[in-house]
Each structure stands twice: as C-alpha cells, then as structure tokens.
Amino acid sequence: NAGVTQTPKFQVLKTGQSMTLQCAQDMNHNSMYWYRQDPGMGLRLIYYSASEGTTDKGEVPNGYNVSRLNKREFSLRLESAAPSQTSVYFCASDRLGDSPLHFGNGTRLTVT
Amino acid sequence: GEDVEQSLFLSVREGDSSVINCTYTDSSSTYLYWYKQEPGAGLQLLTYIFSNMDMKQDQRLTVLLNKKDKHLSLRIADTQTGDSAIYFCAESMDTGRRALTFGSGTRLQVQP
C-alpha cells in the first residue's frame, strides 16, 4: 500500500526550464492537492482537484499548471521555472468531505 | 480571511510535557488538525478534532479546543526524543473550496 507517491524526489532546474512533477495515489481518493512549503510559511495551496475532471486555483497558482490525468494521477507543471519557485512541493489526497489529507514525501526543487 | 498562527519553536526536556499552541481566525472551521513532519518527510496526520468538541485524547496526545478564543492546543505527555519534529495545525472550512489552511509550523526540540 504505497499511499501517495511523488516523483522525482529532487530536481535542479535552470531559470526558464520547464518540468512536470508527478503524483499518484492508490487509495481511490477523489480529491488531490498540490502544496508548496517554504521556510517559516507553512504550506500554501497551489492548485487542487476536487474530483476527476476538475481543477481549481489555490492561494499561489501563478507560474503553475495542473492536470488531473485520471482519478489516480495529478501532475504539476512549471512552464518556465523561476528562482522564486525554489521550494519543497507536496502532493496530497483525500476521500472527500472532512477526511484527513494523506501526503506524499515531497519533491525538493531548486531553480538556479 | 483565513489565518492560522503558531509559535515557531519549542524546546523541552525528555519526559516533560509539551504544549504546542495555535490560533485561527475563521469561526466556520469544521475540523482542526495536527500534523507532524519529520526531516525529509511529508506531513503525517497525528490527530484531529471536530469543531463541536472541546477535548480529544489519544494515548499521549491531548487536543484542547477553545472555540470562543479560536485557540487550539496539542499536549504531548512524557515527550520523547522521537517526538522532535515540526508540528502543523490546520483548519478546514465548510466552504465550496475544500482545502486545508496550515499554520507555519512549530519546531519541537526534545533535549535528552
């Protein structure tokens, strides 16, 4: 039972490069989320998908796009990476309603 | 608006009790959560409390909720070195956008 799996674990990009962060969950959860974690700022919501086929902006969506590929997978794309996007990115999922979030182990991204 | 605040750091001796505090601003919160993050890992749900409760106990953990003051606390009895981590409180709201709002985290350091 893997839970929430994120790839890659680490990535270094140059300014202007693009990349996609992958996330998959095997718990048959309806909702999936992308957060970023920066020192002293907790977790901030980038985008979320309440159910397959829907996506919505969170608190800090600028510079990102998402795709809910199917019920299991929710990817986050940086089209043109900027140093301000250096962060640790967490994917999470939950069933629906007031159920707890399950987190992946994160992707540490550095943009130089 | 949504705002969850925590103190940044707490240091205790092994065997003592730890109390981590959190304040929130949104009175429509339905659930309040405590998550634990160990170095290099994602967030792990510790416990949660429904907003119509004022206390919940789970082994060494006690959660107290004061709705009037919008204050949440997590007490860890007999704190162990393995409890050293960052602790996040989070709230969920009964709104159209279902996503948690996190505090900035409290780093708990347990001294042997």
Could you say which of A31, A42, A90 has the minimum Cβ distance to residue B98? A31
Q: What is the mean pLDDT of each run of 10 residues along chain A (112 residues)?
A: 90 97 95 90 90 92 96 97 97 78 93 96
pLDDT, tens only, B56-88: 999 999 999 998 899 999 999 999 999 999 999
pLDDT band at B1 (very low <50, low <70, confident <90, very high): very low
pLDDT, tens only, B22-60: 998 877 777 889 999 998 888 999 998 888 889 999 999
Q: What angle is formed at CA A110 by the lines to CA A52 and CA A74, rounded to 5 degrees?
A: 5
- Asked whether the beta carbons of residue A43 and residue B43 sit closer than 8 angstroms, the reply is yes
- Asked whether the beta carbons of residue A101 and residue B30 sit closer than 8 angstroms, the reply is no
Looking at CA atoms only, how far is residue B15 from chain A in angstroms?
28
Strands (E), A19-106: 19-25, 31-37, 43-49, 56-57, 65-68, 74-78, 87-94, 102-103
Residues of chain A positioned with their CB less than 8 A from the CB of B103? 42
